[in-house]
Each structure stands twice: as structure tokens, then as C-alpha cells.
Amino acid sequence: MFTNYEGKSVPSVTFPIRVGNEWKSIHSDSIFKGRVVVVFSLPGAFTPTCSSTHLPRYNELAPAFHENGVDEILCVSVNDTFVMNEWAKDQEASNITMIPDGNGTFTEGMGMLVDKSTLGFGKRSWRYSMLVKDGVVIKQFIEPDQEGDPFEVSDADTMLNFINPNAKKPDQVAILTRDGCPHCARAKAILAEQGYQYAEITLPVAIRSKTLGAITQRGTVPQVFINGQHIGGADELQQWVQRQSIKAA
């Protein structure tokens, strides 16, 4: 069983971090003292669950965390700073601060260093998350001590729900487009005007018709989706925005 650190101070350690072409040393005091910080820790950069779910959702919900008093979101992993920097680029995780705990010092201090040598990983972090205020752990979600890599309680939604069960989460918006499409540009402009951050999927010619038909039963782009609802093209998006404005009035 892992020890819950609620009510205790986080370890006092120094993290060597590579910024650009320079080495910098960041002490944990400068991260945690006088601040509200959410930390999530995971077994390793570029690993499946970490890359597909754990990190992306924290990055996506970052605006909601900030609106509810969180100053910074940290991802801690027993990886070196070069790996963590490349992972941040790969994930486009601009809302997350990557903390490379290469020697496992912080993780060991939290009692979360585990042996994954059977996988060729050596010493790594157990998966957990925590809310830290002024250096003290207020809440900690630790994955169950069982075989494999459980991912049940350290997710972003669980942490945000703890901080504020009524927190408004960012809308999930995606748009299917093609290069050089003026209607696509118009739809993206409408989304930007409304303050939506969207994921754009540019379809190559070779698969466009088959993909559009299978997903939308339409033959043209753009096609916009908001929170799982198929809105349609640029004209339909504009009409949808107008209806939302009327409802809010």
C-alpha cells in the first residue's frame, strides 16, 4: 500500500531542467510556495495511457483549473529533461509544466517510486495526482496498488470535480477541413470569434469522400462537431451560434 501524503509538505528538491540550450535548476519551493498547484505523476513520457489520456485531458481542462484558483499544472515523471521537453512538443501540451524527475528524488520523497525493471523501465513513478497549496498536499488521488498500470482516479476530471463539482469544462470542438477551402476558413473564423479552441482535421483528397460519408453522411467540408454534436458546415455553424445567443439572452 502507498502512503497518502495529505496534510504533509511536498519534498524539498531541486530539478535540473533544460530550457533552450541552457541548464537551469528549479527548486520545489519556487514551484509550490504561496501557490495552488495541481500535480499528476505517471510512469513515463510517450507511454500509451500517459500520451493518449492522462496528459491530454489535463492540458484540455487547464482553463477550467485556472478559473477555479489553480496557478499551475505539473506533470512529473522519472524521465530526463530532454525526453520531457520532446514529449511536451509532441503532445502540444502548452498548458502543462513538465517536471523531469530524472533521478526519482521527488517521486521517492512522495513514497511513489516503484520498480518496473521487468518492463525495462527501472525505477519509475506510480500513477497519482494531488492538489498542493503553499507546499502542503491538500488532496491526493493514488491509483490502486495492483498489477499493471491502473488508471482510475488520478485523471483530470476527478481532480477538477474535487476542486469544484460545478466547474464549467471547455467545449470539445473539432472541424473537418481541406486545404484552400474558403468555407472552412469562414467556419474557423466563426469558432475563433466565439472563443472556441478547436481541433482541426485536414482531410487529404484520397480519403475525403469516404471519410466524410462515413462520419457525417455529407460530401462537403467543413463539418463542425461541438461536444459530440454534429453541427454541419459554415452556414449551419452560424445559425447554431445565433440560436445559442438567443438562449443565453
SS3 109: helix
DSSP 7-74: TSBPP--EEEEEETTEEEEEEHHHHHTTSEEEEEEES-TT-HHIIIIIHHHHHHHHHHHHHTT--EEE
Distance CA 165, CA 187 (A): 32
- Note if 50 is an active site residue: yes
**Active-site residue, selected from the candidate residues 50, 75, 181, 184:** 50
Cell of 122: 527501472
Active site residues: 50
